[in-house]
Structure 1
Amino acid sequence: MQPFSLFTDGSVNTPTGVGYGAYLLISLDHSPLKELQKQIKLQRFEQTSSTQLELQTLLWALGEITELGCTKDIELTVYTDSQNIIGLPKRRTRLEKNDYYSSKNKRLSHYPLYQALYRLTDNIKCHFVKVAGHQPSRDKDEIAQRFTLVDKAARRSLREALR
């Protein structure tokens, strides 16, 4: 199996509901950050929230990976700062058992996105790693530096769109 790393992040303007998702898919390489920056993909999302945008961005990235048709041959490590995404694999059994209803018998607002994520990850061997966002540069390891690339790309795109 060939290992790949997927870095995803999003930035949303809550009052307008406009957000930008960014992802970077790389194999095990040690390319300079400037080179990796050129590989980042961006997409605009509308009528979204921060939680929804994180899910939409991950689904978009996984969808594009699936379209490549090589999902059985890769092992994917997903790096995100979204606590919601990190917890979803462990919550799957309970969510499916309860048909995506909360303990207060209310349907979870993002359940279609959860279902889509579970369908996609059934076909891709992946695991999720929480990245601490917005650390001082001196404290960033190689993973955090790569994650910062997608974080900054999403924020920059949103700022430019709101001008």
Structure 2
Amino acid sequence: MRTFDVSPLYRSTVGFDRLFELLDQTARVEPLANWPPYNIEKTGDDQYRITMAVAGFAADEIDLTQHDTTLTVAGRKRDGEGERQYLHRGIAGRTFRQTFSLADHVKVTGATLEHGLLAIELVREVPEALKPRRIAIAAGTTRLGQDNAPAQIEGQVRAA
């Protein structure tokens, strides 16, 4: 695997710190960072869904936390497995922690756990003050600003 050193870019750019931190994070992928498996889908113009396969986990064993632009999904099995004796254990019940970096103004609107799939609904809600707005351009005979013509006083005739 190739690694890229983005530290020289820190010296020549301003305001892209978060982008470079994301690049650094992807370069340092932990071995179990892709477990449990998940999908990220776009369900509308500003709507998204993260679906995670968390078979064997109950809703009260999964913790979903959003702090600013970071969404953390953590799962921890309760200590009730002691009374079972497995001959083969193919369904993983290990503790997991998955972190997602969200764009600005993306919020979690809900989560459901059904048939072993955790579905997390997200929506991007940009405040009105930050949305682009259209500015009307006035047309007609009104002039704004300076026209570079000498001022003419009423009643005086201009010398040619």
For this structure pair, what is the TM-score category when the shorter chain's length is used for normalisation?
Answer: under 0.3
Relative contact order higher in (CA < 8 Å, ≥ 6 apart): 1
Per the normalisation by structure 2, the TM-score is 0.22
**Higher helix residue share:** 1
**Higher strand residue share:** 2
Per the normalisation by structure 1, the TM-score is 0.21
